[in-house]
Chain A
Amino acid sequence: MDGGKRKKYRGWRCRIRSITVSMAPHVTCFRITPELRKLGSFQVAQRRMTGRRCLRAFISGFFVAVPVTVTVLDKLAYVARVEGVSMQPFLNPGGGSECDVVLLNRWSVRNYQVQRGDIVSIVSPKNPKQKIIKRVIGLEGDFIRTLGYKNRYVQIPDGHFWIEGDHHGHSLDSNSFGPVSVGLLHGRASHIIWPPSRWQQIKPFLPLNRGPLDTDEEQD
C-alpha cells in the first residue's frame, strides 16, 4: 500500500511540472524531469553518432584515396610543367609566356629501358630536389662527340646514358656534368597535354649529327 502511494505521488508531481513547462515555455526549468532527461540524452547521442560516422567515413576515404593517388603518381603517370628554354624549339617555343605541360610515363621506365631520341625527366645530379627534362642522345657503350665537355669524345660507361637539351648552349645537361647514371631516371615524356593547341604525342627523334659515332677499337 505504501509503495502504491509513493508511485502515485511521483507521477502526479511529474505531470504538474510538465504542464507548467508547456504553459510557460520561456521559463527556464531548473529541474529536468525524467522524460526530458531521456529525450535530451537521446538527441545528444544521435548527434554524437552522426559525428562519429562522419569521422569514420572521412578516415576510410582518406586511407583509400591517398595511397592510391600516391601509387599512381609514383608508378603510372606524372604530370609536369616544363620551365626554361633548354628544350627549345620543341618544348616551350613561346618562352616564358606559356609553359608546356607534359605527361610523364613512369610505367615504361620501371625497368630503366629508354631509346635514343626519347625525351626523359631525370633527378638532377647537381640537386636531388630538382627534376630536369632532356633528350637521350646516347646509351651505354656509345661513343659520343660532346659539345663543351672536358673531353672531346666520350665513351659512355655501363649503366649510364648521355642527355642533352635541344637548345645547345642554354642547357644544363651531360655537356656540363658528364654521363648520367640510369638509376636517376624518373619518367619518359609521352605527350604534351597543355596548351591544347600543342596537344601531340612525343615520338623519339634524334637531332642530326648527334647520334653515336661508328668506331673500331684497337687495343695495344
Chain B
Amino acid sequence: MFRRVLGKTLGFVGYTIQYGCIAHCAFEYIGEFVVCSGPSMEPTIVNHDVVFSERMSRHLCKIQKGDIVIAKSPFDPNVNICKRVIGLEGDKICTSSPSNLFKTHKYTIGRHLDKVIETQHKAKSASAIHQMKVPKGHVWLEGDNLKNSTDSRSYGPIPYALIRGRVCLKLWPPHTFGTLSESPTQRINKPPSNSDSD
C-alpha cells in the first residue's frame, strides 16, 4: 500500500519535472507571451496589449533594424522594456538629447584626503544635434511614441545580450490581431537600395 503510494508520487514528480523542463525550453528557445503596459510604443502597441515574442532571432543574432524587441532594462534586470531597434552596432544615430543631466556634484574622497573631485556633465543647448556611432555589441532602442518614451536617447545604447526576444505577432485585442506595422517615426536610416533606373 505504502509502496504503491510512493511509486505513484515518484511517477507524478517525474512527470512534473519532465513537463516543467519542456515548458522551460519552449519559453526560453521558442517564444513567450508578453503583456505590454505603458504609452511608449503608441500607436503600434498600446496599454494592456498581449503580444507574442519569439526567441530564435535573438539566439541566432538575427535581430534587424526596425524590429520591436523585448529587452531587460539596463537599470533593473527584473524589469522588461519593449522598444524598437533603431540602430545596430556601427550605425550612426542623430540624437539631440536636450534632457542631458546638468548636475554638478562635489565629492570628498576619504576623511584624510582633502581632494575634492568635481564631476560636471557638459550642458548641451536644446538645439544641438550630434551624431554618434553605436558601439560594438550594442543596439539603439527607441519607442514609437517619441514624446513619452524613456529609451536610448536618455540612457544610451544597450548591450545586445540584454535583448530577450523579437515581437512578431499581436494577439489581443482581437480586432488588431496580426503582425505589427512599420515604425511611424522617421528615425531609421535604411541603406539606399540599388535601383536600375538612374
With a CB–CB cut-off of 8 A, which chain A residues contact B111?
214
**B24 and A181: CB pair below 8 A?**
no
Q: Among A42-50, A70-78, A85-93, which stretch is in contact with chain B?
A: A70-78
> A31 contacts the other chain (Cβ, under 8 Å)?
no
With a CB–CB cut-off of 8 A, which chain A residues contact B135?
126
Complex alpha-carbon distance, A111 and B117, angstroms = 34
**B104 and A181: CB pair below 8 A?**
no
Complex alpha-carbon distance, A70 and B24, angstroms = 9
> A125 contacts the other chain (Cβ, under 8 Å)?
yes
Q: Among A3-11, A152-160, A202-210, which stretch is in contact with chain B?
A: A152-160
Q: Tell me the A99-128 residues at the B interface (CB within 8 Å).
A: 111-112, 123-128
> A184 contacts the other chain (Cβ, under 8 Å)?
yes
With a CB–CB cut-off of 8 A, which chain B residues contact A181?
72, 74-75, 77, 158-159, 162
Complex alpha-carbon distance, A71 and B105, angstroms = 46
Total of A-B residue pairs, C-beta within 8 Å: 104
Closest to A71 in B: B21
Complex alpha-carbon distance, A141 and B22, angstroms = 39
- At the interface, is chain B mostly helix, strand, loop or mixed? mixed
**B161 and A153: CB pair below 8 A?**
no
Partner of B74, one of A124, A183, A218: A183
Complex alpha-carbon distance, A22 and B74, angstroms = 84
Complex alpha-carbon distance, A70 and B111, angstroms = 52
Partner of B76, one of A63, A158, A214: A158
Complex alpha-carbon distance, A64 and B159, angstroms = 34
Complex alpha-carbon distance, A83 and B126, angstroms = 48
**A68 and B137: CB pair below 8 A?**
no
Closest to B116 in A: A218
With a CB–CB cut-off of 8 A, which chain B residues contact A127?
136-137
Count class of interface residues, chain B: 35 or more
* Central interface residue in B21, B135, B137, by most chain A CB within 10 Å: B21
**A219 and B105: CB pair below 8 A?**
yes
Complex alpha-carbon distance, A5 and B75, angstroms = 97
Complex alpha-carbon distance, A214 and B109, angstroms = 6
**A216 and B25: CB pair below 8 A?**
no
> B65 contacts the other chain (Cβ, under 8 Å)?
no
With a CB–CB cut-off of 8 A, which chain A residues contact B21?
67-68, 70-71
Given A67-B18, A67-B22, 18 further pairs, Cβ under 8 A? A63-B18, A74-B28, A112-B78, A124-B161, A125-B138, A125-B161, A128-B159, A143-B107, A153-B117, A159-B74, A159-B76, A160-B75, A183-B73, A183-B74, A183-B77, A184-B162, A215-B107, A217-B105
